[in-house]
Each structure stands twice: as C-alpha cells, then as structure tokens.
C-alpha cells in the first residue's frame, strides 16, 4: 500500500517547507519535491499543514479512581484521540496492591487488546513499592518497554520521599524516568479539615484546598531529591506560576527537572469554579485551575523551554451521574479529572499558534517531537524518512465550534463548550492508515478498533 501526500507544508520542530511525502507499508519512505506519482493513493495537501501526529503522554483510560472509573476505555478514548489528531497515547497503568509491574502492564494490555484504535504505550504507576517491585524497574525499562514510572505525592496511594529517592536511583541505573504528581499532601489535608469545620465544601473550595504553594513545595522537594541523586524527574501537569519558578530554578542550577503542562492550565482559570449551581464540579481536577497570572506564566515557560511537553491528563467523568455521585455537598468526594484528549491539537493551534502565543514549530515540538524523544518512542514524533507514517493533514483555516455533541469522548461535557477554534485536523493517518476525516462540520472516525499496537519504548538515555 503506497500513498503520496502532495504539496503540503511540512512542519518540523525547527522549520517548515513545502514538499511531497511518500508513504509505503506504514512508513515514511521519501520526502521531496515532485515525487513520482505512481502511488496507489494521491492526496493533494496544498494549503494544508502536514504535521506529525500528536502524542498524548498523559491519559487515564478506564482508570479506577475515587470509587468509580474514568469513563473512556481504550476504544472510545483512542477513537477520540484519532479524531483529534492524536496518533499515540501513553496511558497510566496503576499498579494494584500485591501486583508486580509485569502483571500491571499485562493487565492493562489485555484491556486494550481488540479495542485500541491508535498506537499506545504504558507508564506503570508505582503504588505498592515492595522491594521486589523496585528490583523489577530494570526489567520494566529493558524488557517490557515501559521506561517511565509515575508516582504520586498525594492521594492515599502516594509514595513517601524515601521511596522516591530509591526510584530515582534505580531508574538512573537503567535509563528510566520518574514522573511525579507534585502536590504537598499535608497542606491539602490541613485545608480540607479547615473547610470541613467551616462547612465550606462547594467545588470552589477544591481549588482553595490545593493552593499554588502546595505545588511549589512539592516541586521544590522533588527537585532536591533529583539534585541529591544526580538523576532526573518529570513533573506531570504543572499548573502554577510558583511551581514553574521552582522548575526553572532547578534547571538553572543544572538539575534535570523536566515539565509538562496541559491545555486546561493554559486556557482556563479558577473563575470557572464560580459557575452557577454545581457546574464548578466540571473543573474539579488536581492540581486545580489557577489564576490568569499562572496561565500567562505557563505559556512563557513553554516558549522559554522550561516546559518541554504538552499533554492532556485526560480523565473524564460525566457531570450527571459521576461528578455528582457523592460530591454535591462535599468537593472531596467529586471524582478528580476532566476530558481533553480530542481537543488537544485544535486548542493548541487555535489558542496557541493562531493567537501568536507559540510558533507552529514549537507546537509540533511540544505535542510530538519532544514527546517522542522524552519517552523513547523512536519511530514517532516527526515527519522524517524512516519514521512511522503517523500524520495529520491540518487545515489551518477550518473553523469548528467545540461542542460535546460533535466530539467522540465518552463523557457528557467538554470544558470548552461553545469555543470557536481556527484550524482542524482534516485527515489523520496512523502508520499510513486513515483513522479520521473531516466531514462537513466535524471529524468522523474512519479507522478500526483493535488496529492500534502496543509500542515497546526504548530506554531513555
């Protein structure tokens, strides 16, 4: 099977140029001017961008959490990904008590089998750090193809600082990476008690219970562990100006601290918690939305290279039935998380590139190229000969009004309802196979459940 994409503007992390792209057997075979027209399928991409598929390295598909489960499974979540121009996901795999890392990885792979529509990998989350589990880190990096490990500094399943140190040491030996959810649990516990005493438990207090300083302190502490062990760490879903300042401070000292942020921390702010009725619950996520000041600081952090990666933290719960299941009079019982996988690329283009906040090349870097490098996806992340043909044909002029009715995520709301975006993925290819297509006024899934493959990732050196 061969395909030729003609006359598109190819965008890389460092530049852009007009050329044709020849695809054979799922790989990019040639790039050049006026390539031979003998391909079976010829696509005219004049006036369009040819982008590497976005990679979302932060999703929670079917994750059991707070007495329920994140609603998108590997079918609905990756169909939504395909429709949004996301051609690879790296999903969190929460190790259960008593499980080995291997068992956790195989369990989640079995959930994905026959369902997943684009390629995927897994980050094991270490939640039961028994000595034999720490010893298994080596195999996870070198054998299972899962070299990045999430840890939490909050929630009941958090790890303590001593465990963090052990994990930093162990991952350093073999080319692994620790990813950390950085919030100070004691500050949060204290404020939760205060708000309980005062009887102030509406969704707005969720944000007040997790102040910027809770993130700042945890980022600072994690960076100190990295300094002590001369290792490296990746801060997931960085949300605040103060957290970013601690990331930058560490980086300026030569400490290997990397950071990811998400569209919600760039585009939404804590005013959302004041929406009428129980609406604020839609934005109950951790860390919470911050002020506009943090939004601005995070855009700046991307442009200055302090934040390397954009991800979604896709963790959807219906507003009716899940968010309100137990938490209508207590924010602590509202499942934490929000949907976002399908709107990632359109938002970053429209709110980032089209509004002049980031360049097109920076968008490609933080959504694809840097992500593939950070997480060892050696065949992904670039329009380059030899790479997988994971390609988005993107029309920078196509308008779309975001509405949950025209999206594919298995959830009853989007935080971006009614927002008009400029620029949409109009054709999306995963290893050369078309998986989604713009049709009249929205994107339709045209791929196949079960087509996606588990990708064994390389050690991260």
User: Binding residues for ligand URP, per CB under 6 A?
Assistant: 60, 181, 285-286, 313, 315, 336-337
Task: Tell whether the torsion through CA atoms of 106, 108, 111 and 116 is positive or negative.
Answer: negative
Considering beta carbons, is residue 123 or 181 the nearer one to ligand URP?
181
Nearest to Zn ion of 264, 350 (CB atom)? 264
Q: What is the DSSP code (8-state) at residue 320?
A: I
Nearer to ligand URP, 337 or 425 (CB): 337
Taking CB within 5 to 8 Å according to partner kind, which of Zn ion, ligand URP, none is near residue 457?
A: none
Quote the least distance from Cβ 237 to Zn ion, whole Å.
6
Rounded least distance, CB 335 to ligand URP, Å: 8
Chosen residue from 6, 108, 123, 181 binding Zn ion by CB under 5 A: 181
* Residue with the CB atom nearest ligand URP in the bound state: 336
Nearer to Zn ion, 313 or 427 (CB): 313
The answer to the question of residue 91 lying near Zn ion (CB under 5 A) is no
Task: Give the separation between CA 37 and CA 407, rounded to whole angstroms.
Answer: 35
Residues constituting the chain? 461
282 vs 373 by CB, closer to ligand URP = 282
Go through 86-121 and write b for each residue having 16 or more CB atoms within 10 A of its CB, e for each that does not.
Answer: bbbbbbbbbbeeebbbbebbeebbeebeebbbbbbb
CB of 457 to ligand URP, least distance (A): 20
Residue 308 interacts, among Zn ion, ligand URP, none and using kind-specific CB cut-offs from 5 to 8 Å, with: none
Q: For the segment 280-339, give every residue that binds Zn ion (CB under 5 A).
A: 313
Q: Report phi then psi at 278, rounded to 5.
A: -95, 10
Which does residue 285 bind out of Zn ion, ligand URP, none, counting CB within 5 to 8 angstroms by kind?
ligand URP
Angstrom distance (rounded) from CA 93 to CA 60:
8
Identify the helix (H) or strand (E) that includes residue 151: strand 148-152
- Nearest approach in angstroms of CB 136 to ligand URP is 23
CA dihedral angle for residue 451, residue 452, residue 456, residue 458, rounded to 10 degrees = 130
Reduced to 3 states (helix: H, G, I; strand: E, B; else coil), residue 425 is strand
Residue nearest to Zn ion (CB): 181
Residue 293 CB, nearest approach to Zn ion (Å):
22
Q: Could you give the angle at which helices 161-174 and 212-229 cross, rounded to 10 degrees?
A: 50
Site residues (vs Zn ion, CB under 5 A): 181, 313
């Amino acid at each position: 099977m061969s395909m030729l994409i003609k006359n598109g503007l190819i965008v890389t992390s460092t530049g852009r140029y007009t050329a044709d792209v020849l695809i054979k057997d799922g790989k990019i075979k040639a790039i050049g001017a006026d390539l031979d027209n003998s391909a079976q399928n010829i696509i005219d991409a004049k006036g369009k961008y040819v982008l590497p598929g976005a990679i979302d390295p932060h999703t929670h598909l079917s994750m059991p959490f707070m007495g329920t489960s994140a609603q998108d499974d590997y079918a609905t979540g990756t169909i939504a990904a395909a429709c949004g121009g996301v051609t690879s996901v790296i999903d969190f795999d929460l190790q259960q008590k008593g499980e080995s890392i291997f068992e956790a990885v195989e369990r989640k792979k079995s959930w994905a089998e026959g369902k997943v529509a684009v390629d995927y990998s897994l980050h094991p989350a270490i939640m039961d750090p028994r000595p034999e589990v720490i010893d298994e880190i080596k195999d996870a990096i070198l054998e299972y193809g899962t070299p990045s490990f999430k840890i939490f500094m909050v929630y009941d399943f958090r790890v303590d600082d001593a465990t963090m140190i052990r994990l930093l040491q162990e991952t350093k030996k073999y080319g692994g990476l620790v990813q950390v959810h950085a919030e100070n649990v004691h500050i949060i516990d204290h404020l939760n008690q205060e708000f309980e005493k005062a009887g102030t438990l509406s969704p707005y207090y969720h944000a007040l219970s997790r102040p910027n300083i809770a993130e700042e302190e945890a980022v600072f502490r994690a960076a100190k562990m990295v300094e002590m062990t001369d290792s490296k760490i990746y801060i997931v879903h960085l949300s605040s100006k103060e957290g970013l300042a601690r990331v930058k401070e560490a980086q300026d000292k030569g400490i290997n601290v990397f950071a990811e942020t998400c569209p919600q921390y760039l585009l939404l702010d804590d005013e959302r918690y004041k929406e009428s009725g129980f609406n604020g619950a839609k934005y109950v996520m951790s860390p919470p939305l911050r002020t506009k000041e943090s939004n601005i600081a995070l855009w700046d952090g991307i442009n200055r290279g302090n934040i390397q990666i954009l991800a979604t933290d896709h963790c959807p719960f219906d507003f009716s039935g899940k968010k309100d299941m137990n938490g209508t009079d207590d924010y602590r019982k509202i499942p934490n998380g929000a949907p976002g996988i399908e709107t990632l690329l359109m938002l970053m283009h429209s709110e980032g590139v089209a509004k002049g906040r980031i360049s097109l090349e920076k968008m490609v870097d933080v959504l694809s190229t840097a992500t593939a490098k950070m997480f060892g996806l050696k065949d992904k992340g670039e329009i380059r000969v030899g790479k997988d043909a994971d390609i988005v044909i993107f029309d920078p002029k196509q308008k779309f009004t975001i509405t949950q009715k025209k999206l594919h995520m298995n959830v009853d709301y989007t935080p971006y309802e009614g927002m008009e975006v400029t620029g949409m993925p109009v054709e999306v290819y995963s290893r050369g196979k078309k998986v989604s297509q713009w049709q009249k006024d929205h994107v339709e899934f045209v791929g196949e459940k079960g087509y996606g493959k588990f990708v064994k990732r390389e050690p991260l050196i």
